[in-house]
């Protein structure tokens, strides 16, 4: 089992120092409570403002921010998931998420496959790679980002690779309450894995983020849910036992070869 902490908070757009301080404080509090892993929202160290990031963020500063994230993990001896822009060798911008262990060592990285809205699509390039899976304290763990989780293929790809825990930094705006309230729980149930979904809370660059972060268990039940303000959620997540696995047969009974013939 892993004691997961989920940070929901308001970022200050392009105030990297303030945002990193907020992550550091959440990591300190999570570790003090026995947390082994802290999940933070999408693009939190720089704030969620795609167009402003492209015009005002110097990409040469990104490695230093990643070093700060690694130092936070090392200092508090806690695993950490953070999300930042990344620039490829050919100059393409991507939205990424990274999982660190308690030594600050990178265990897993992921680039967003499904970009949401005209701002993201004008700034970033969609990735193509499926979610990978690593072992974190005995729990097979994977990453997705925001809009990715609204496509069942993303979570299913992680589950088929053995994931028991899917960590999802997000920046979900108003009017999409069904995502945390319905879809996250459905993704957890249909793939028999825990899903954690960490959102911003408060106004950033004209968007009023509603919070509503959730942690869903492998049976679709809610382990923890946030309101509209800053919160630090906790939940124990782990590998389901054999009896639980027998009770949910979606992975065992799915027929991918058949479905390919349905595509028209």
Which residues are the active-site residues? 42, 112, 146
The Cα 134–Cα 108 span in angstroms is 7
Q: Residue 238: CB partners within 8 Å, gap ≥ 6?
A: 1, 2, 138, 139, 164, 194
Residue 134 contacts residue 140 (beta carbons within 8 Å): yes
Residue 14 contacts residue 47 (beta carbons within 8 Å): yes
Residue 41 contacts residue 11 (beta carbons within 8 Å): yes
Q: What letter would DSSP give residue 132?
A: P
Q: How far is CA 54 from the centre of its chain?
A: 22
Opening angle at CA 176, ends 171 and 180, nearest 5: 75
Distances in Å between the Cα of 107 and the Cα atoms of 12, 46, 79, 220 are: 27, 22, 10, 27
């Amino acid at each position: 089992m892993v004691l997961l902490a989920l940070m929901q908070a308001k970022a200050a757009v392009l105030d990297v120092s303030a945002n990193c301080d907020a992550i550091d404080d959440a990591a300190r509090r999570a570790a003090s409570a026995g947390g082994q892993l802290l999940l933070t929202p999408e693009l939190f160290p720089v704030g969620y403002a795609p167009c402003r990031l492209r015009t005002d963020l110097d990409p040469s500063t990104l490695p230093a921010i990643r070093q700060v994230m690694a130092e936070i993990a090392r200092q508090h001896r806690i695993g950490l998931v953070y999300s930042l822009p990344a620039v490829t060798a050919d100059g393409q911008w991507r939205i990424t998420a990274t999982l660190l262990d308690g030594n600050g060592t990178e265990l897993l990285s992921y680039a967003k496959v499904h970009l949401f809205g005209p701002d993201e699509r004008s700034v970033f390039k969609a990735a193509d790679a499926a979610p990978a899976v690593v072992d974190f304290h005995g729990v097979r763990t994977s990453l997705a980002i925001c809009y990715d989780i609204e496509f069942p293929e993303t979570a299913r790809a992680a589950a088929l690779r053995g994931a028991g825990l899917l960590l999802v930094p997000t920046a979900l705006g108003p009017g999409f309450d069904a995502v945390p309230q319905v879809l996250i729980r459905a993704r957890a149930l249909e793939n028999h894995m825990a899903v954690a979904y960490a959102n911003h809370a408060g106004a950033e660059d004209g968007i009023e983020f509603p919070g509503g972060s959730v942690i869903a268990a492998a049976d679709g039940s809610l382990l923890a849910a946030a309101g509209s303000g800053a919160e630090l959620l906790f939940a124990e997540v782990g590998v389901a036992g054999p009896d639980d696995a027998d009770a949910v047969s979606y992975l065992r009974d799915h027929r991918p070869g058949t479905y390919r013939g349905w595509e028209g």
